[in-house]
Amino acid sequence: MSTSAAHTLPFAESLTGSLQDSLSSALPREYVHKSAHSEVLLTGWRSVAPDDFVVTAQWPRTHSFYTPDEGRHDPLLLAETVRQAIPLLSHAAYEVPFGHRQIWDTFTYSMNPDALVVGNAPADIELHITCSGVTRRGRRLAGLTMHVTAMRDGAVLATAEATFTNQPPAIYERLRGRYADLGAATAQTPPLPAPVAPHRVGRDRFHDVVLAPTSTSHRLQLRTDISHPILFDHQVDHAPGMLLIEAVRQAAYGWTFPRRGVLTGLEIRFSRYAELNAPCWIETTEAPEIPRTESEYPVHVIGLQDGAEIFAATAVVTATEAPAPMLRVVAG
């Protein structure tokens, strides 16, 4: 059952409607499953009809990890904004208790790169969300699909869709088995391999590169750096979905290198957890079933671990009009 934000979020219960409409701030970090207050992108939400919501967000003009490129916001800010909306609506609108896990099944987006231009102020974003396929186990939310239209200044920025399931702690621990032990999971993380050169994957710092080279150009190794303050904002027992999406982005940028571009399209299906104690391989190939144009480059990216598919993705890189001078970085 959908409920109003004013009656669900504890910090808002004492506010009158007029005050709540006039104030602007980030939501409590617990509602978006973040440890750092600074990483909360969402600023509010409201129910407009059963299973229909508007979620507001603000993107900073710069970010320590999702950095602007050639004057455009990082497109994965959209992915992180939608990711934060999953636990927010689960807890606030569908009455899911804290401690339950929302598990991504699929995520897609298609984006207008012109709407990513960084302005003179932070970007105010509205997510218009319709939820379908809402299923329950008794009174507990079991899963749903979010259909998202992201707006900026009255114009469509992107459309997206996210499907997830919701699991209470006991079921999650049973599903994860021995991997549910956080201490054991993180203690078994192997040493990080050396990264690929940052400029090849659209990065300017080695610390933010999530891929390592192998003897085969289309096969890379995932770098699971559990000390990374953004991708591992808090302890988890597996590689987070945003790390895997970042791996897809970097693999796609590496495939189209030296052409500069923006990840304007993504479709990813998560099949299994990427465990922390074994190498995960990222393989990239062309996507022949999708027409390639002078400006759009579709590629397939899959993740493999212990011979099993972790995820399968199709990414579309749209070339920018004026590629920036190539950044030369010597691998360390």
Domain boundaries, the chain: 5-167, 177-319
Q: Which residues lie below 8 Å from residue 247, measured CB to CB, with a gap of 6+?
A: 210, 211, 222, 282, 301, 303
* Mean per-residue pLDDT of the chain: 89
Position 153 pLDDT exceeds 50 = yes
> pLDDT per residue over 5-50, tens digit each?
333 343 333 222 333 343 456 899 999 999 999 999 999 999 999 9
Closest-CA residue to 240 (of 286, 276, 277):
276
d(CA 102, CA 142): 9
Q: What kind of fold does domain 177-319 have according to CATH? A: Thiol Ester Dehydrase; Chain A (3.10.129)
Position 196 pLDDT exceeds 90 = yes
Homologous superfamily in CATH for domain 5-167: Hotdog Thioesterase (3.10.129.10)
Six-digit token pair at 328? 């030369």
- Common-topology check for domains 5-167 and 177-319: yes
3-state SS of 278-330 is CCCEEEEEECCCCCCCCCEEEEEEEEEECCEEEEEEEEEEEECCCCCCCCCCC
- Please tell me the pTM assigned to this model: 0.90
